[in-house]
Amino acid sequence: MSISIASIIKKSGPFAHSSNSVQKTMFTVLLALAPATVFNLYLFGWPAIMLFTVTVGSCVAIEAGCLALADRPVKAALGDYSAILTGWLMAMSLPPWAPWWIGVMAAVFAIALAKHSFGGIGQNVFNPAMVGRTVMLISFPVVMTAWVAPHPLFSAGAPGLMDAIAITFGGHMPDTVSAASALGYVKTELSRGIPVTESIAKVPDLMDMVLGYRAGSLGETSAVLILAGGLFLMFKRIISWHIPLSVMGGVFLMGAIFHAVDPARYASGMFHLVSGATFLGAFFIATDYVTSPVTKKGQLIFGLGCGVLIWLIRTFAGYPEGVAFAVLLMNGLAPIIDQYTRPRAFGRNSKGEPLPLVKEKP
């Protein structure tokens, strides 16, 4: 023979592979997040940019440290962008003017505790970004709910670079700029006995909320850009419609039904849909591959569960926002959901027994 070929076969087929890869998937998600992120970083100015950088940077650094500790190749694993994505999503769920140590500590809890103590990428039960955010929220509730009104870069009153350093690294939060998020405001007013119908009139109107010109975390504002990113992911077939639609459907339906029953007590479905982190949660957080069910049926149940829990927590629990809690609770259920929603095998019924042979004229 003129040309010899491999004499020992190590791998069976197939001998074709899609262009799909983990790296590509994660990168596409980052791409989808980019427009909303850029807009919001502009909206909240230098302090937000610094917190964002610190959070993502710490995630990558801690990931590298964990990999080194576990004796795994660091460079190859960092190349999958998963740590960047975790940091990115987490930064988008923090108050934009929060001090630097919030980002660093959140990164420790997200990467070291939620991800690597479970065995690294693909092994974690709970969404790392949401674990990081939630631990911070419970431990430092004051800092974690100090929202600011938008101060677009280079606009009058916006903090300059030096002010930003003072805010992020010095902990000098200017008192004057604090503002409540819409959800928080409505909740506080309600506890003071002011009906939702009145308080809601004082928050920015729905249109402003959709566009994002309001107080909140990076990912909470600008619903429309998050939505665009989500649709882009669907178009790229990174995510399917099942989880986003069922999350939004769950929130909206619960809101709408109870609003119809008692408008003074319950905010409308539309308000719930566009406020807070509903869109970010529906498109980017609940859809996290690792911590959501793999079957389509399971994803619908998972999403609906997230949606209903978000509404329940917002309406009845102590916290104004419930996306992170809802997603984490459903994360815990994902393995069980998967087990009970396995697809029916070809030629078998759902119990795995062969289908009966029905004679009919084809």
Interacting residues toward other proteins by CB under 8 A: 1-3, 5-22, 24-25, 70-73, 76-77, 80, 82, 120-123, 240, 289-296, 299, 338, 342-348, 352, 354-357, 360-362
Nearest distance from residue 127's CB to other proteins, in Å? 12
Sequence length of the chain is: 362
Cβ at position 114, least distance to other proteins in Å: 15
Q: How far apart are CA 231 and CA 223, in angstroms?
A: 12
**Beta strands per DSSP E along 161-221:** 178-179
Which residue, 323, 329, 135, is CA-closest to 223?
Answer: 323
- Give yes or no for a contact between 103 and 51, defined as CB atoms under 8 angstroms apart: yes
> Pairing between strand 147-148 and 178-179?
antiparallel
Comparing CB distances to other proteins, the nearer of 12 and 191 is 12
Cβ closer to other proteins: 316 or 346? 346
Cβ atoms 33, 88 nearer than 8 A: yes
CB-neighbour burial class of residue 348 (10 A; exposed 0-12, middle 13-18, buried 19+): exposed
- Cβ proximity to other proteins: between 9 and 201 the closer is 9
Tell me whether residue 38 or residue 68 sits nearer to other proteins (CB atom): 68
CB of 94 to other proteins, least distance (A): 25
Smallest separation (angstroms) from other proteins to the CB of 281: 19
Helix (H, G, I), strand (E, B) or coil at 288: coil
**Please, what is the Cα angle at 94 between 215 and 99, to 5 degrees?**
100
CB 183 within 8 A of CB 317: no
Between 52 and 284, whose beta carbon lies closer to other proteins? 284
- Nearest residue (CB) to other proteins, 14 versus 318: 14
Report the interhelical angle of 82-93 vs 22-69 (nearest 10°). 90
8: tokens are 């020992």
**Minimum distance between the CB of residue 131 and other proteins, rounded to whole angstroms?**
17
Other C-beta atoms closer than 10 Å to the C-beta of 66 total 19
Which CB sits closer to other proteins, 27 or 169? 27
Three-state DSSP state, 250:
helix
Closest approach of Cβ 186 to other proteins, in Å?
Answer: 36
Question: Closest approach of Cβ 160 to other proteins, in Å?
Answer: 42
Question: Considering the complex, what minimum distance in angstroms separates the CB of residue 13 from other proteins?
Answer: 6
DSSP 175: G
Residues in a beta bridge with 348: 354
Separation CA 112–CA 106 (nearest Å): 10
d(CA 42, CA 14): 48
Q: How far is the CB of 66 from other proteins (least distance, A)?
A: 12
| Choice between 26 and 50, CB closer to other proteins | 26
Instruction: Tell me whether residue 13 or residue 193 sits nearer to other proteins (CB atom).
Output: 13
Residue 298: helix, strand or coil by DSSP? helix
Q: Is there a contact between 146 and 178 (Cβ–Cβ < 8 Å)?
A: yes
